[in-house]
Amino acid sequence: MRGRVVDGQQGIDGLMDDIGRRARAAAADLGFASAKAKAAALIGAADAVMRRQDQIIAANARDLDYGRDKGLSAAMMDRLALDEGRIGAIADSLRAVAAQPDPVGTVLAEWDVPSGLHIRRVRTPLGVVGVIYESRPNVTADAGALCLKAGNAVILRGGSESFHSSGALHACLVEGLRAAGLPEDAVQMVPTRDRAAVSAMLRMTDFIDVIVPRGGKGLVGLVQAEARVPVFAHLEGICHIYVDRAADPAKARAVVLNAKTRRTGICGAAECLLVHRDVAATLGQQIVDDLIAAGVEVRAEGLRGSVPATAEDWGMEFLDMKIAAKVVDDIDEAMAHIRRYGSGHTESILTEDAAAADRFFARLDSAILMHNASTQFADGAEFGMGAEIGIATGKIHARGPVGAEQLTSFKYLVSGDGTIRG
């Protein structure tokens, strides 16, 4: 796939308008496509990924060259790189989505009303989903697959770094659609690196029903400033972990270490440790010692071995071997800190006191609240949802891990027998 040359904002608007129209037309057909056809398209795409492995690796090599020229960090280059193992994982993920139950047409509820009508509430596709993401090429396959599973057409706009890799994966999805007799326009990729395409997508209210933005602060800011299309917000994962005075020491030490260090680059990694004052000098200090021994930089006040925390450390998404830490007077101060600095993603309380856990669950309002568990479990697969597009931090429509079910809407089907209203 080549970057299509388009002329300024007007050219982009024309291009995107055309993509939007095609997506809308494809969505009309997809809305009643059979579960079998959709699954066949996904399996066909997985087969194509395996068959085209060499092409995908060649496309990825071009992206890696581009990334080196741009001076991407080692972490960014690692996210971008594809090898046989990662390509196999992409194909497996497509097959896993194919094997999930099809959400469309499920009767969510049904009941009779006194007028004699029978009412059913059934799942429907949303329509057209726009996904705006950054460097990981596998998002192309996951997002495309989940949208298709839910009967939606999708417009994918990946990061410029992964342009060729994403294009090669997109070609596999199209091959699967074609073989299954579904419209090829069901999964489209924006064929230009021009950022004006993102702005255009954010305003395409006639053609896009919802935007799923996955990315850093720059993208989130652009979306907040410009979006006219509804958005499933995916903010940062500023996850907190609170060690209560009634925490079990062994569990707390294991869970905090896991929450911070298992993988530091994922959105479910803990970024801030809060410790009840009564156990700060004992368990709290042990946990800090554990973290430091594991190579984590602890930014805190009054905990041995830590470096002094600054104001910027609260609410910081380090995505690194760093953690902010704070001693709090009680659970309410911990919750106030979380409300102020959290991003509504995932928070965990470590305690053997059921009342404290209940208070934490009732009074905080993040997408995911945990008790005696590692924040690293904030993940669609760990929740049993198969793949995910991401973890939504907003409260409208989708929240937490966004899988195929969260990409649906519903309608009411009302059956009568010549029933009139009195």
Query: Which positions lie near a second copy, rule CB under 8 A?
Result: 28, 31-32, 111, 113, 115, 117, 119, 124, 126-127, 205, 209-210, 224, 227-228, 230-231, 248, 250-252, 254-255, 258-259, 262, 339, 357, 361-363, 365-374, 376-377, 382-384, 394-397, 399-400, 409-421
User: Helix, strand, or coil here: 231?
Assistant: strand
Considering the complex, state which of residue 141 and residue 368 has its C-beta at the smaller distance from a second copy. 368
Least spacing, CB of residue 361 vs a second copy, in Å: 5
Cβ 219 vs Cβ 213: under 8 Å: yes
Least spacing, CB of residue 188 vs a second copy, in Å: 20
Q: What are phi and psi of 65, to 5 degrees?
A: -60, -50
Least spacing, CB of residue 155 vs a second copy, in Å: 16
Quick one: which H or E segment has residue 335? Answer: helix 331-341
Considering the complex, state which of residue 163 and residue 232 has its C-beta at the smaller distance from a second copy. 232
- Cα–Cα distance between 422 and 420 in angstroms, integer? 6
Q: Which residues contact 155 (CB under 8 A, 6 or more apart)?
A: 19, 20, 23, 128, 129, 130, 131, 188, 189, 190, 201, 208
Q: Which residues contact 239 (CB under 8 A, 6 or more apart)?
A: 259, 267, 268, 269, 270, 271, 272, 342, 345, 346, 347, 348, 375, 378
Considering the complex, state which of residue 125 and residue 137 has its C-beta at the smaller distance from a second copy. 125
- Cα–Cα distance between 182 and 29 in angstroms, integer? 8
- Cα–Cα distance between 131 and 229 in angstroms, integer? 12
Considering the complex, state which of residue 113 and residue 307 has its C-beta at the smaller distance from a second copy. 113
**Residue 294 CA, distance from chain mean position:** 28
Least spacing, CB of residue 199 vs a second copy, in Å: 15
Considering the complex, state which of residue 28 and residue 355 has its C-beta at the smaller distance from a second copy. 28
Considering the complex, state which of residue 170 and residue 337 has its C-beta at the smaller distance from a second copy. 337
Least spacing, CB of residue 290 vs a second copy, in Å: 13
Least spacing, CB of residue 224 vs a second copy, in Å: 7
Considering the complex, state which of residue 45 and residue 210 has its C-beta at the smaller distance from a second copy. 210
Cβ 276 vs Cβ 283: under 8 Å: no
Considering the complex, state which of residue 255 and residue 387 has its C-beta at the smaller distance from a second copy. 255
Q: Is the dihedral of CA 140, 146, 148, 149 positive or negative?
A: positive
- Cα–Cα distance between 19 and 75 in angstroms, integer? 33
- Cα–Cα distance between 328 and 245 in angstroms, integer? 10
Residue 368, number of CB atoms within 10 A of its CB: 23
Least spacing, CB of residue 228 vs a second copy, in Å: 8
Q: Which residues contact 248 (CB under 8 A, 6 or more apart)?
A: 350, 352, 372
User: Helix, strand, or coil here: 377?
Assistant: helix
What six digits make up the tokens of 60? Answer: 């990825």
Least spacing, CB of residue 131 vs a second copy, in Å: 16
Considering the complex, state which of residue 311 and residue 362 has its C-beta at the smaller distance from a second copy. 362
Least spacing, CB of residue 365 vs a second copy, in Å: 6
User: Helix, strand, or coil here: 338?
Assistant: helix
